[in-house]
Chain A
């Protein structure tokens, strides 16, 4: 076999590099425009333009061959991308993002595999500055692909969303990770003629690790997992850039890596848990201390009473949670908000960072229902206004409103920042039953004197109350 020329040679022309610099500058500009809802859409187009520049330039490189295969790949990808992005419902965005994380990681791992085969073709020696990024991209990309598939399965209810713990799972995962690292080190030491078999072994072990690492994580911890896998995929792409000496891959991958890292840290902070704790303890499994829950009286009301409380209030804040997404209640909630606004009631929405199944999930649902973004309040802002709020309406949220996080140092969620609805003059909780939330703990909020429970599904309740408000 003829040893192929090094891949990077053809990309080293100044013109190509200049185009790549333009491309990543457009990515950065695009993300910067994403800091405000008014400019974000334009920012997205700017980033897309950068992508177009990068692809067109790459297609004109002299290394490009197998044009028919490239066309096939692009056509398949475009068809799937168009169909998926136009059909997906906003409630399903977490699944979609999980899938996108997965295919990106999968692409990085596959490219590294191909690059490994190419670099070792004819028993050639592989320099370490190529081999190390190949191995990194292989392992991280593969973990991201398989982990994201499991995350998708859990969000789509194909895989049970409760934590699935195998015996000795942590020890096994630890050993698996150690074995992967050992395999990579051996490949690195043997970089004069790295073993194809060992490489495949590392690829498979990383796939198994990806599956096992997400399986024990419960549904409500998904915002963290999705963010982390997002970071992984970005870093895998950046590593592929190191292997291929491609500047735009390095910069773009690193930008995504930073984004995923920031979101991971913010999400775990919003749960007041360390990333290690989230990843290595199935939360739901730990805290099922339901036995001691005693019967306590609650104040139950109907849609009519709720309508009176809301219709005669000056200010109302809605606190949505995952239950609103499940019930697809965002449009009904907006309908209710419209009725209230007609009566001059000031309406806002208080959104906890981890409400829903991914960062910003609730905001997108409410935006879909035409809620103006000025009314979407972040936790700190909402909490500072809570004492001046007449009625807080909790819809499908539970743990993120539990005052035990502040009051009870022994609570499993102690210290977690919450939306302090108990500070509002009155609270209405729309919920189907008194069942505990994901953390498996009772919510003291339900038993407070100023709390009224409206036992119904979110969508029906919001519509009923809206109809009653209209008649006031």
Chain B
């Protein structure tokens, strides 16, 4: 069992890591960032997996099933929709077929 002070240490360090890493995400990718963090907080589903093991009355069982379903929605839905969105972000060099002609006009001015 972790001591409280160990847990607080982990929390504080994780907060610093989070701020460092996430502040580098460009605004262009803020929507996928949000849906990805939606998926990551689906981790709370693990708590549901653990507490349902002890559920011995109907109420606790119902609570547990709903919690697991909610967490799974986050995980499955969050990662899938993020993947779908990020699949749409294409650079000039990876443009789909029908725009090939438009690309030849002035590729030199890309991304200034």
Contact = CB atoms under 8 A, between A and B. Distances in A.
Q: Could you say which of A226, A255, A361 has the most chain B C-beta atoms within 10 Å of its C-beta? A: A255
Interface stretch (A84-92, A276-284, A287-295, A404-412): A84-92
Interface residues of B, number: 90
B67 A110 contact: yes
Interface in A343-394: 343-344, 346, 351, 353, 358-361, 363-364, 367-368, 370, 372-376, 378, 385
Contacts of A115: 47, 51
Given A77-B76, A252-B40, A360-B33, A376 B28 contact: yes
Interface of B is mostly: helix
A8 B1 contact: yes
Given A81-B77, A240-B44, A244-B47, A7 B54 contact: yes
B80 A81 contact: yes
A360 B88 CA distance: 14
Contact of A249 (B32, B47, B59, B91): B47
A4 B50 contact: no
Q: Could you say which of A8, A47, A61, A363 has the most chain B C-beta atoms within 10 Å of its C-beta? A: A363
A372 B110 contact: yes
A149 interface: no
Interface stretch (A172-180, A230-238, A425-433, A435-443): A230-238
Nearest to A141: B44
Contacts of A230: 34, 37-38
Contacts of B69: 72-74, 76-77, 80
A258 B90 contact: no
A38 B87 CA distance: 10
A407 to B, nearest CB: 25
B64 A107 contact: no
A374 B92 contact: yes
A65 interface: yes
A302 interface: no
A246 interface: yes
Given A344-B106, A358-B31, A360-B32, A85 B80 contact: yes
A254 B79 contact: no
A318 interface: no
Number of contact residues on A: which range applies? Answer: 35 or more
B74 A249 contact: no
Interface in A247-298: 247-263, 266
A361 B31 contact: yes
A241 B23 CA distance: 24
A41 B81 CA distance: 11
A47 B79 contact: yes
A103 B90 contact: no
Contact of A373 (B46, B64, B90): B90
A374 B93 CA distance: 10
A327 interface: no
A100 B26 contact: no
27 contacts: A37-B91, A47-B39, A66-B52, A73-B66, A74-B69, A76-B72, A77-B68, A77-B73, A80-B73, A81-B73, A97-B38, A104-B42, A114-B67, A242-B7, A247-B10, A252-B40, A254-B14, A256-B37, A258-B15, A263-B30, A358-B34, A359-B27, A359-B30, A360-B32, A360-B34, A363-B27, A372-B90
Interface of B: 1-2, 4, 7, 10-11, 14-15, 17-19, 21-55, 59-61, 63-92, 95-96, 99, 101-102, 105-106, 109-112
